[in-house]
Structure 1
Amino acid sequence: MNNEKINILLVDDHPENLLTLEAILENEEYNLIKANSGDEALKYLLKNNVALILLDVQMPGIDGFTTAKIIKAREKTKHVPILFITANYLDAEHVFMGYSVGAIDYILKPFDPMILASKVERFVEIHKLKQQLEHQSETLLQKNKVIEHMAYYDSLTELPNRRKFYDTLVNQFSDAKTGLQPFGVMLLNLDRFKQINDTLGHMIADNLLLEVSKRISTSVRQHDFVARVGGDEFYFILPDTNREISVEVAEEILDSFKAPFIIGQYEFYVSASIGLAVFPFDGEDSTTLIKKADAALYRAKEQGQNKYNVYHSGMNIHSYRSFLIQNDLRKAIERDEFYLVYQPRVNLLTGDVTSAEALIRWNHPVWGAIKPEEFIPIAEETGLIIDIDQWVFENVCKQINQWKENELSLQNIRIAINLSAQHFIEKDFLANFINIFNKYKIDSNNIEFEITELVILRNEEAVQQTLQSIKELGIKLSLDDFGTGYSSLTYLRNFPFDSIKIDKSFIDDLPINLNNSKEIIESVIFLANKINMSVIAEGVETIQQLDHLKTIGCEEVQGYIFSPPVQSDQFIQYVKSNERQVITNRLNESSVIVMFESTERITKKEDQLNSDVIQLAIQQLKNSYSLSNREQDVFRLIVEGLSNKEISERLFISEHTVKNHITNILHKFGVSDRVQVISKVYEACIKVEKI
């Protein structure tokens, strides 16, 4: 609120009347402005604001009624109160006319000073209250804007936040569905940002995020939407954008990260990973589209730093196969397409089979056997691993129960089951497993859970409590793939493991001792013995490896030198035939080497066959859709998963030419997206031969 005087306009053609009014209304708070005519009053009101107008009715030229009518017609002055000044003899008709043109009240001549001053004071009070309300309203409006900004924008970068992103995404879906236009959703994470934050502190990390947000904002197009949704996570909406253009935007962002970020005395070379999904091809609602983009981000991170990945975009034929696998994976349990195999573990001192690892296999009705390394990562991404692990556990318990009922001598053999990290954030994980135990009346000594270091890294405190509860049930615990992750000795001290599994990558280096693997294995065995843990070497394939492990005191061995993973009947036969002495002269070094060389040749042959099938399918499609030779070159590289920029570099043609070829290919195929092209390639491959 300011202390300016309140303007009151006095309009009368008689100077003596103006002087009288001025004398009666004299007040420190008032600024009395005098006008001798309606024209003069109207000119003044064009430029100035007034609280009240005292207007004479009878004036030469424009009279009071006409002047009032004009004042009320103007937007600026229509709410200003008008008091008409008139003679006592004004008839009722004229009084009514004054009210009809906007007068609030009348002041009669000759003036009664008390009445006049009192009326003006009341209108001035109303004006003051109005000013207060306007000020409060403006203040409230500004505060609401601040609150709204805080609710919808990130305080550090001033970018929209998660709430604003999802509101915008809802509107984008509505617009896209109405206009039948595709759009992209992109998720970006900085690589190893946590290390910067933990090492150099929040201030440096925040300044880095601020600079990153500026660089990102200048790398996208003007109409693209960028939000910081938390930490080092940035989400994008790319309106009216197909997959090809979305990839170009992602590449532009990653290119911008090649230059260092200068924060104070530090120079940072920061990389990022990007996941991308496109409406409507990857999802027709926000939840699905974000989930698909997140899955693509996960894969980009797996590929390494400064990578992007497009969800099942047909970036290559194999990613399209992964997309189909994901769809069929949901139905595999109910269709009874999974089965279990068991790989024995052998005690090198006694030669007995002491335990076995249960491994899942998938017999797909169209493609046949699908390798676990192909479908397990997809199950992890989609959350289906929870159901799959539970299926494995229940079927292992069911199998152990059958062995007991058939009085087979396997009661002392322990079956190891792999547990996903996702179980440790599942609310009823342990209760579900206990119910299965009780259902099949299984002795806890018959079960072992294998977990990897990744499980512990997710939430050490919660995992420690859960593992302790598992241990109290009598279930054995082993730390799988030891040596491939962080391999912190803290894990061995703080977590109740019974055994350590040395990863196959170390065993492969034996006996020639590549990368000091021999010393590492010996150290692990020595340490484990000191803290009463057993050691299991997995992936043992040769006599030399076996002899060396036995020499340095390894207790248990798992690998093809004894047996590949086999189904239940074969496992029973193997155990029976090797109950007392598994290690025999049955396997000699040459036969083992020949066995694995032939396996490798078969694998390479199958890989080559897959490549041949793909090339044959491409040739058939070229003929069917009349592709030119150059279009076929571009088509083949699309199937390989190359971006427009990479195709341009490979074929030594401009990106513009690449775009034109792709447009022609899409037109000839009668499709609008790379995914649909890849699907046709895949269908052609199946017709040629199962991939």
Structure 2
Amino acid sequence: MLAARGSRFHSSAWPSLPLAAGLAASLELLRMALAAVIVLFVVAMMDITLQTYGVILKATTVSREKIALADYHAAVARRDDLTGVANRTAFREQFEERLTTLDASGRCLAIHWLDLDRFKEINDSFGHLAGNALLAGVAHRLDEVFGRRGIVARLGGDEFVVVCEVEHRTDAVAIGEKILDLVERPLHFDGRVLRVTASLGIAIAPTDGSDADTLLKNADLALYRAKDSGRGMLCFYERLMDEKVERSRELAAEMEGALERSEFSLMFQPIFDLAGGRILSCEALLRWTSPDHGTISPAEFIPIAEDSGLIVEIGRWVIREACRIASTWPTDVTVAVNLSPIQLRSANLAMTIVSALATSGLAAERLELEVTESVLLEDITASLAALEAINRLHVRTTLDDFGTGYSSLSYLTKFPFQTLKIDRSFVQDSERNPASVAIVQTVIELAAKLGMRTIAEGIETQAQLDQLRRTRCDAVQGFFLARPMSASMIGTMLADAAPAAVKLR
């Protein structure tokens, strides 16, 4: 348009030039002067027009660049920097837009909210670069499969959401299973193979809500239920789950500052020498008393601590505190501490142990760390390396709950355990089931041949204790012998028992 205006001026100015030429040709001074004025006027007008055109063109270009830059920044502001998929802001906008068109289509909208299981372990074990690579890889897979047909967004941290239109609930299940499969595929990074699973919560509009806030809340509740059910699980929203999930959320929030507020404490349960009745060791048991919820069962709060990643910090405190208290006991009594799967694979575990022993002055041989069979099933290579590192510190290791896994006998030859704990289910069933008696006897004999000590846990009756006396079991533990007690009570008990062994019933 600007060029057209310039050309119109030029076409209107050109007729003035022949007039100037005619005046100049007359050779009369006055007419020649007038011709010169006309020429100068035309030149001046052309220059002004060109300058004006340049200014307007520059202003238009700058305006267009500003609009383009604003559009670019708006797009960037709605894209997740790390993964390139939509961020929380863009997701909310797109999701609400989809909801407005939902009634007209007559279809349903399925919200799949996923959280990577124990993602913090990847960061702790391999570093943030590995964690970022995993997040980017997961986002790319999800976007490649679902990006064109729905919404794929990263809500922050290790949380993602996929929204797709569905006709039936079975469609949402199929999408959820595909998402879990995409997440579980291994990712290669810096010569390592990274593996992770996801928990998935599903809410469907309009069945589970018609507005964005309600639907997102319900999908989040379903996600919490899925995480409670175990890793790699998907769960649909149900109205009855609200109360339980809300409690889990409240406990997770309270646990954030529980260590600083000194809300955790340790109880100790003695482990007795079966032959002589002497206290060989005491197992440290974590307890939590919340100001708002009172005493919380370990079976409830420990999984929450593991999911939130707080178990590493709490576990570090448990090891330090257990070593500190055990340092006041007789030197022939050890202390046993349970390790969670996350602790076992933590890169700082060895440093935590060394620091706790040095600060307390406890001899390394007096610390025993217990792991369950389920820990070993998850990553044999990493678990073996961690246990060997512990043994190099001269700290003893115990295989807890033996008999509940899938390949128990193979563990005895692969892993460097010094002690075997026979699961309470076999001990408690020994009164009724001869097969359990045979299993207990076989495990004890096998452990003895491999040079391992055995502890039978969960003794609750005299008959169970008598049955174990007929075996070569080394030690026993259970409510029938002694219940968990405070550090002061265990100190008094050890002081009283020092001159002579405790007489078992």
TM-score (norm 2): 0.62
RMSD, aligned CA: 4.4
Q: Per-residue displacement from partner, 1:243-290 (whole Å, max 9, x unpaired)?
A: xxx9x97676349999xxxxxxxxxxxxx9743489757999xxxx99
Q: Give the aligned partner of residue 581 of structure 1.
A: 501
C-alpha contact 2:226 2:233 (8 A) present in aligned 1: no
Aligned counterparts, 1:507-656, within 5 A:
507-513=427-433, 516-579=435-498, 580-585=500-505
1:438 aligns with 2:358: yes
Q: Quote the residue 2:320 is aligned against.
A: 394
Provide closer, same or farther for how the CA distance between residues 468 and 188 of structure 1 changes in structure 2, counting only shifts above 3 A: closer
| Contact 2:176–2:200 (8 Å) recurs in 1 | no
1:518 shift after superposition: 1.6
Going from structure 1 to structure 2, the CA distance change for 1:503 and 1:251 (only over 3 Å counts) comes to farther
Q: Matches of residues 258-277 of structure 1 in structure 2 within 5 Å?
A: 274-276=200-202
Seen in structure 2, the aligned counterparts of structure 1 residues 236 and 557 have a Cα distance that, compared at 3 Å, is: same
Paired residues for 1:239-278 under 5 Å: 253-254=172-173, 274-276=200-202
Q: What SS is found at the alignment partner of 1:344?
A: strand
Q: Is the 8 A contact 1:299 1:309 kept in 2?
A: no
1:565/1:283 CA distance change after superposition, 3 Å: farther
User: Are the structure 2 counterparts of residues 472 and 364 from structure 1 closer, same or farther at C-alpha, using a change threshold of 3 Å?
Assistant: same
Change (3 A) 1:352 1:381: same
Tell me if 1:371 matches 2:297.
yes
Look up the match of 1:336: 262
2:248 to 308, 312, 322: 322
Rounded to whole Å, the distance in 2 between the matches of 1:390 and 1:371 is: 20
Correspondence list, 1:205-354, <5 A: 224-225=150-151, 236-238=161-163, 253-254=172-173, 274-276=200-202, 296-301=225-230, 308=235, 315-354=241-280
Verify the 8 A CA contact 1:355 1:416 in the aligned structure 2: yes
- Letter aligned with residue 91 of structure 2: Q
- Measured after TM superposition, the shift of residue 301 of structure 1 is 3.6
Whether 1:421 and 2:346 are equivalent positions in the alignment is no
Instruction: Give 3-state SS (helix, strand or coil) of 1:553's partner.
Output: coil
Contact 2:251 2:301 in 1 (8 A): yes
Aligned length: 365
- Among 329, 347, 369, the residue aligned to 1:449: 369
Q: Identify which of structures 1 and 2 has the higher relative contact order when contacts are C-alpha pairs closer than 8 Å and 6+ apart.
A: 2
2: CA distance, partners of 1:563 / 1:316 = 39
Deviation at 1:552, TM superposition (A): 1.8
Structure 1 length as normaliser, TM-score?
0.46
Distance of aligned partners of 1:431 and 1:513 in 2 relative to their CA distance in 1, 3 Å threshold: same
Task: Find the aligned partners of 2:202 and 2:357 in 1 and give their Cα distance.
Answer: 42
Query: Which one-letter code corresponds to 2:227 in the other structure?
Result: Y
1:391 offset after TM fit, Å?
A: 1.1
- Asked whether the 8 Å contact 1:185–1:293 carries over to 2, the reply is no
Report the residue type matching 1:568 in the other structure. A
2: distance between equivalents of 1:283 and 1:397?
45
Gaps of 5+ in 2: 5-13, 16-81, 101-108, 117-141, 154-158, 178-197, 204-210
Contact 2:339/2:370 (8 A) holds in 1: yes
CA distance in 2, matches of 1:342, 1:333: 19
Other structure's SS at 1:331 match: coil
Which one has the largest radius of gyration?
A: 1
Report the identity percentage: 30
Structure 1 pair 330/357, CA: closer, same or farther in 2 (3 Å)? same
Q: Distance in 1 between matches of 2:504 and 2:459?
A: 16
Query: Which residue does the alignment assign to 1:67?
Result: none
- Distance across 2 between alignment mates of 1:180 and 1:256: 19
Deviation, structure 1 residue 346: 0.5
8 A contact 1:539–1:558 mirrored in 2: yes
Per-residue CA shift, 1:11-61, capped at 9, x if unaligned? xxxxxxxxxxxxxxxxxxxxxxxxxxxxxxxxxxxxxxxxxxxxxxxxxxx
